[in-house]
Amino acid sequence: MAHGRPLLQYFCSECSTLLTETDKSIDFIRSSEECPKCGCLLSESLKRALTPQQDNSNPTASLLFPPKFHTASRLRFDIEKIDSILKLGIGECICLVGNHSKILIERLCISALLPESHGGFGSPNVIIIDAGNSSDIYSCVNFARQYGLDIKDILKRIIVSRPFTIYQLANLVTYELPNVVRKFDTKIIIISDILRMFLEDPQVRVGESRRLVKEITTSIRQLSTNTSVIVNLRCDQPSEYSQMLLPSIDKCIQITNGESENRLFVQVNNRNTNHKKENCKIIQLQRRDLEIIPQR
């Protein structure tokens, strides 16, 4: 607070998103400005009030405002049950396993692009290596639309590369990615279906595949020094190659189907710093929890 002036909170009355706190009065909003959360015109929905701690006459004032998001470079799924037990930050390798892991990858892609002030990772760009040729940009658009984001801007910030052989994949990860990361100033690298070509190509020689998987695994660990590296395995059946990859992973999320079509079990494994001891937790979700962004 400056010169004894009260601190004001400005928020969107439609979705209750806290936009800013300031001691200055905001009296004019351009007619084209939209709420970054719900997309409503701020010229119609912007409201202000004293901060809850200053408005002692109204004990319920704090209920009008959602808590501030964490802004310390934390990557979130925006799924409360998962985020409450899994802390993701820069300098980690995370693996998502199972048939539903693809949609979580796409969800993380958009969450990573959100500014930190709105609960995102604040990454200028996201790099996706589509090793299984299966990424769905329209699913990313769906999540961006739910957040009320500018679709054209989001698409410009998603950089996708599609290798078509295991040799192209290894070369991309090992030799090209460090320069790409610097060029696009990204906080997050996503490698989708990282082992698919190794498992499905009948012409692949096992000895050569082992060497390339080892190279890729080593490079991923090096890249995670300054970025978050997210990989996914669509097949939850263990393989020789996954056994080579998983020991280098910091955190693993495995999704399996429950008794009914819409029920899912999510197992979250947090490894400690020496990658030996695991803290395992299991939660239940509905399929729609993966597809719908909660409205605040």
CATH of the domain at 114: 3.40.50.300
271 and 251, same structural domain? yes
Q: Considering 21, 42, 64, which residue would you say is the last residue of a domain?
A: 64
Q: Which residue has the higher pLDDT, 168 or 234?
A: 168
pLDDT band at 18 (very low <50, low <70, confident <90, very high): confident
Of the chain, the percentage scoring pLDDT greater than 70 comes to: 79
Q: Tokens 């239940």 label which residue?
A: 284
Residue 162 has pLDDT above 60, yes or no: yes
153 and 79, same structural domain? yes
What is the pLDDT at residue 29? Answer: 56
Chain mean pLDDT for the chain: 82
pLDDT band at 103 (very low <50, low <70, confident <90, very high): very high
Look at residue 132 and tell me if it is in a domain.
Answer: yes
126 and 82, same structural domain? yes
What is the pLDDT at residue 296? Answer: 65
* Domain count along the chain: 2
Look at residue 1 and tell me if it is in a domain.
Answer: no
252, amino acid identity:
C
Close Cβ partners of 296 (under 8 Å, ≥ 6 residues apart): 15, 16, 17, 37, 66
pLDDT band at 278 (very low <50, low <70, confident <90, very high): low
pLDDT band at 1 (very low <50, low <70, confident <90, very high): very low
209 and 182, same structural domain? yes
Look at residue 69 and tell me if it is in a domain.
Answer: no
What is the pLDDT at residue 262? Answer: 86
Query: Rounded to whole angstroms, how far apart are CA atoms 29 and 15?
Result: 18
What is the pLDDT at residue 225? Answer: 84
27 and 136, same structural domain? no
What is the pLDDT at residue 21? Answer: 72
Q: Which residue has the higher pLDDT, 42 or 134?
A: 134
248 and 142, same structural domain? yes
Please, are residues 55 and 49 in contact by the beta-carbon 8 Å criterion?
Answer: yes
Look at residue 229 and tell me if it is in a domain.
Answer: yes
Average the pLDDT over 225-241 and give the result.
Answer: 86
Which residues span the domain enclosing 60? Answer: 8-64
190 and 78, same structural domain? yes
Residue 188 CB coordination number (10 Å):
24
Q: Which residues pair with 97 in a beta bridge?
A: 233, 254
Average the pLDDT over 104-118 and give the result.
Answer: 90
Look at residue 121 and tell me if it is in a domain.
Answer: yes
252 and 208, same structural domain? yes
Average the pLDDT over 204-219 and give the result.
Answer: 93
Residue 112 CB coordination number (10 Å):
25
Residue 274 has pLDDT above 80, yes or no: no
Residue 116 has pLDDT above 50, yes or no: yes
Query: Rounded to whole angstroms, how far apart are CA atoms 173 and 76?
Result: 24
Look at residue 296 and tell me if it is in a domain.
Answer: no
pLDDT band at 68 (very low <50, low <70, confident <90, very high): very low
Look at residue 3 and tell me if it is in a domain.
Answer: no
CA triplet 246, 110, 16: central angle to 5 degrees? 125
Close Cβ partners of 72 (under 8 Å, ≥ 6 residues apart): 89, 116
15 and 122, same structural domain? no
81 and 54, same structural domain? no
What is the pLDDT at residue 106? Answer: 93
Average the pLDDT over 18-45 and give the result.
Answer: 66
286, amino acid identity:
Q
Look at residue 2 and tell me if it is in a domain.
Answer: no
90 and 16, same structural domain? no
109 and 28, same structural domain? no
pTM of the model: 0.72
